[in-house]
Amino acid sequence: MDLLSIALSIILDLLSAGFMLAGVGFVLAGTIGVMRLPDFYTRMHAAGVTDTLGAELIIIGLVIQAGFTLVAAKLLLLGFFLFLTSPTATHAVANAAYKAGLAPMLSRFKPPHPRDAGKGEG
């Protein structure tokens, strides 16, 4: 192996590792969001957005690592399938919860009704 191919191999490995680490970071951020956010809909948003992006970044890193092979083509198809189905599934679950009567928490601190605005003050 000559110096150019070694340098190219190192660059591709670093690029691949960067994409995979970024993907793991997004998945971890989504996990923290699911644990910390207050209601079902915000948790679904955190899980849907960050897990889709995180999984796509991990798959891109794996495609770079695989090179121009059949494995890379399969990974690209998997990424395309995930790109279409993950947001759709997130929307379907949130829509089913809404239709089942689960109301979103619109505010953690509910403001007083206008008719009660003057009452209770010293």
Q: What is the pLDDT of residues 87-122, one digit of tens each?
A: 999 999 999 999 999 888 877 666 667 777 666 554
Question: In the chain, what are the domain boundaries?
Answer: 3-101
The pLDDT tens digits for 8-61 are 999 999 999 999 999 999 999 999 999 998 889 999 999 998 999 999 999 999
**C-alpha span between 78 and 104 (Å, rounded):** 33
Q: DSSP label at 15?
A: H
Position 114 scores a pLDDT of: 74
Tens digits of per-residue pLDDT, 54-85?
Answer: 999 999 999 999 999 999 999 999 999 999 99
48 contacts 86 by C-beta, under 8 angstroms:
yes
